[in-house]
Amino acid sequence: MLKKIFKKNPLVFNRSAAARVLKISHNLILRFEEWENCVFLIVKGQRPRFWTKKDYRTNFAEFRKKASKELETTRLDLYSFKVANKAKNSIHYLDAAPNTIQCNCEDYRSQIRLLDVMGGTAFCKHGYAALGLLGFDRLSDYIKQFEWLADNYYQEIDYDEANHYIFGASVY
């Protein structure tokens, strides 16, 4: 029998995420192991337990969505956004792309390094803030709408010098 090798994802599956999912301090987690289809945990004072990776993926997105609600988002042009976090006195700039909203923050860059290699999609709380301004709750809904517009309304999608998307509107 061949053993299937899987790539670990420390960005999504880690002690901090486990603590968020369980709503406990990360110091209470005595042992944490990422397995192929689940996460194995030993929490102080509790029996060992297995958690599905789906719970972690959901938490990964929901944690960022919730944090995005506290951010102030401004649309700079058709495809660019500025997202300010007044509590941290920080500003991040984002660009809309067909399959994501790209950000200059460290979380997004970390996700690019880890998730894109593993077949995932990078997306940060600033991206969720921009999605909210556009009227979307989920990245998948944004991507579907973008594809529909490209298929039904625009003749071509091209880039300008600043790497923004340029749409050539078709004639009805």
List pLDDT tens digits, range 44-62. Answer: 999 999 988 888 778 888 8
Q: What is the pLDDT of residue 168?
A: 42
The band of 82, judged by pLDDT with boundaries at 50, 70 and 90, is: very high
Angle (CA) 66 116 140, round 5°: 50
What's the mean pLDDT in 125-150?
88
Angle (CA) 104 109 110, round 5°: 150
Higher pLDDT, 132 or 17: 132
Helix, strand, coil in percent for the chain, rounding step 5: 35, 25, 35
**pTM, rounded to two decimals:** 0.70
Q: Are 94 and 130 in contact (CB under 8 A)?
A: yes
Is the predicted pLDDT of residue 133 greater than 60, yes or no? yes
